[in-house]
Structure 1
């Protein structure tokens, strides 16, 4: 049975979302649905942990399923209502649900990284390419953060002159990560760099261009686990900013820092996620300028609403990351890991 939606643009019912994987990141998507007003609703929740599935399902008046197969069987039987699916599982178990959804014409938004390595990301890209009429997106949500959008526009307007460097740190102090699946390479594909650094690589791609890894240094504080911190140097391999450098810092055993900076020949732009409505422009000479922006905190809801509108044909794909973007990040993560000097 094919579940492609008709592309009507009148008064439509809320876009019905299935959540596959009711772990931590599903809470962000749950909150985004609540923030959407009557634009979105969660109709189904799927998780092998029955308690987690039931808890999230009850919160939204949704149906709960114990497995992806049980859910897709219900879809095939016409017993589950779904307009799109958000995949929140660990990377190792994403490929088959992605395939099953796209084969049924169900639009997919998968959490990042798209897969645990470049080989699997390439398989996902092939699956998505085989179903070009059904939307496939990767949840690189920072593309929908108003400060990031503002930075991209200001660079295009020449606010900082010729772009010369991208600087990004996503790091925090959380030793319990040593015991979580995100630090288990057999499940996640790596450590802190694939976890937060993949966001950084996509931000570089969005703001600067495709990332070519120049060098990397990883620190591993936990035996048998992925890297606890990473420092990676990249440069843009193509596009109007080809050759521009990027410095990416990722870590789980560091003081909390969530910042993005763009440096140019006439000034710089700096955004600190801890000061969510403040974007700072520093000219080459003179006093800094405070630019008020909308908080990054709306990024999940903006992304999910855009996914729903694009899936219905009411909006272009726009800034939603696709399978090629996901593959680009996965390839860069793999290259950084292979090239890394371990300390």
Structure 2
């Protein structure tokens, strides 16, 4: 199987290339023609490909000329549409980094292009494959919690501008922390609640932590989402971890049902300690490879009962988020921006405020 990685712009792109490189039976080819537009100090393009030990070609068309079976789009958010449509044009299944797009128009066009071409469109939400989420999902769907009343979620992290400056470019990223981190938890709840849908969003954002640094986008936010099943969720989507924090971020949920409260921490499988020489805290992860589970599921399908490739059996196997799911989580983020601008709750489908 041949798999292409389109662009090294995203912080996860190198990880995808390395993951594919090490998979049996997979040949990986990369292309990053916009690498020259990155600021000095960002390693991309052919230089990064050589470091990773993977093939690199100069243009996306050269990559498609090799006849890949699938591609992963890891470009800047605003450039997703063009690459997904290019994959659809060539009849190639595509896994796209999140968020799906920066506008609803682009997201809808991407979903339509793949549907019309008969190719699969997946969206990179690896936390669906967390064993912690699988246990929470099983508890809710099995009735142990009773009807869900509230969910408190937090997806925090560092300001990513030091590794990829475009994350704070409103044109390329479509926003800041709200766009970057709301969608992960929005997608988990979209999967968890089944047919129930988000119907109203209220959000507040600010840039108090990095205002003096001239960052042009919001770096902190709190998003409240009301669902058609009566549940209300809050999502802390801030870039609030300091630069020298021992880990890049995390994702946690606390869910309150009528009969039970359950909690999950998607990245708690770590050994913690302190490095006396460096005088800093240390967190050494040992847990499941969520990106690996997601990529394997996209390429080969998720067999019923498998969560992370060799994980525990569950009755209802987790699936890679499809384009429609990616579009729903994007709409929540866009409604959050409309609410933050207007200071009022926004119903989905009405973001003119």
- 1:109–1:136: 8 Å Cα contact kept in structure 2? yes
Give 1:113's aligned residue.
99
Which residues in structure 2 correspond to 1:278-293 (within 5 Å)? none
Rounded to whole Å, the distance in 1 between the matches of 2:169 and 2:107 is: 18
1:168-191 Cα deviation digits (max 9, x unpaired): 101134384698211221111111
1:32 partnered with 2:19 = yes
Gaps of 5+ in 2: 37-42, 243-248, 272-284, 307-315, 344-353
1:335 partnered with 2:335 = yes
Q: Which of 254, 261, 266 is 1:268 aligned to?
A: 261
Which residues in structure 2 correspond to 1:40-79 (within 5 Å)? 40-49=26-35, 52-58=44-50, 62-72=54-64, 75=65
Which residues in structure 2 correspond to 1:117-156 (within 5 Å)? 117-131=103-117, 133-156=118-141
1:204 partnered with 2:182 = no
Gaps of 5+ in 1: 1-14, 279-293
Structure 2 CA distance for partners of 1:266 and 1:31, relative to 1, 3 Å: farther
- 1:160–1:267: 8 Å Cα contact kept in structure 2? yes
Other structure's SS at 2:44 match: helix
Other structure's SS at 2:102 match: coil
User: How far apart are 1:326 and its partner, in Å?
Assistant: 1.4
Other structure's SS at 1:165 match: strand
Other structure's SS at 1:155 match: helix
1:43-74 Cα deviation digits (max 9, x unpaired): 344443277232443356543122223433xx
User: How far apart are 1:334 and its partner, in Å?
Assistant: 1.1
Give 2:281's aligned residue.
none
Structure 2 CA distance for partners of 1:245 and 1:29, relative to 1, 3 Å: same
- 1:114–1:121: 8 Å Cα contact kept in structure 2? yes
Structure 2 CA distance for partners of 1:154 and 1:32, relative to 1, 3 Å: farther
Rounded to whole Å, the distance in 2 between the matches of 1:17 and 1:122 is: 25
1:69-111 Cα deviation digits (max 9, x unpaired): 3433xx1xxxx25211000000111212211211211110010
Task: Please identify, of 100-109 and 175-184, the stretch whose mean Cα deviation from structure 2 is larger.
Answer: 175-184
1:188 partnered with 2:163 = no
- 2:160–2:167: 8 Å Cα contact kept in structure 1? no
- 1:90–1:188: 8 Å Cα contact kept in structure 2? yes
Give 2:275's aligned residue.
none
RMSD over aligned Cα atoms = 3.1
User: How far apart are 1:213 and its partner, in Å?
Assistant: 3.1
Structure 2 CA distance for partners of 1:277 and 1:57, relative to 1, 3 Å: closer
Structure 2 CA distance for partners of 1:20 and 1:154, relative to 1, 3 Å: same
Aligned pairs, number: 299
1:174 partnered with 2:142 = no
Q: Normalised by the size of structure 1, how large is the TM-score?
A: 0.77
1:304 partnered with 2:291 = no
1:218 partnered with 2:205 = yes
Q: Which of 95, 109, 123 is 2:81 aligned to?
A: 95
Give 1:3's aligned residue.
none
Other structure's SS at 2:237 match: strand
Structure 2 CA distance for partners of 1:297 and 1:174, relative to 1, 3 Å: farther
1:216-237 Cα deviation digits (max 9, x unpaired): 1111234562211110110223
Rounded to whole Å, the distance in 1 between the matches of 2:174 and 2:100 is: 11
Structure 2 CA distance for partners of 1:56 and 1:317, relative to 1, 3 Å: farther
